Amino acid sequence: MEHSESLKECAFREFYEETGIYPDLIRLIDGFQYQTQYYTKTRKFQSQPMLKELNIFLGLIDHTPDVKLTEHSHFEWIDWAPPHKIQFETIDPLLESVEKFWKSYL
């Protein structure tokens, strides 16, 4: 997060930086926020375990916008094919939270 930035502001900024998709195209769904923490190792900190905090909001985009990369060289839309390396720590609990939210939301 940047100085004095809220979690939602940070999420919108990061989403834009990664995709080039403007925040005004996203319809944020009120009432959903997923938070978790876990340790990961990075080269930046000489492979020392660092606490990572993950905050996810749920939003909709009415159409498939053009992705404009600003922080990496390419992207690819892929079919979801779990399990992934962080499946059990982050993805499974997130998807369970989304499913529970949608059942009460709809």
pLDDT of residue 59: 92
Q: What is the pLDDT of residues 27-71, one digit of tens each?
A: 999 999 999 988 887 777 777 888 888 899 999 998 888 888 777
- For residues 82-97, average pLDDT: 81
- For residues 12-17, average pLDDT: 91
Long-range Cβ contacts of 20-24 (<8 Å, 24+ apart): 20/66, 20/67, 20/68, 20/69, 20/70, 21/61, 21/65, 21/67, 21/68
For the cut 80, the answer to whether the pLDDT of residue 23 exceeds it is yes
Q: Are 39 and 52 in contact (CB under 8 A)?
A: yes
**pTM for this model (two decimals):** 0.71
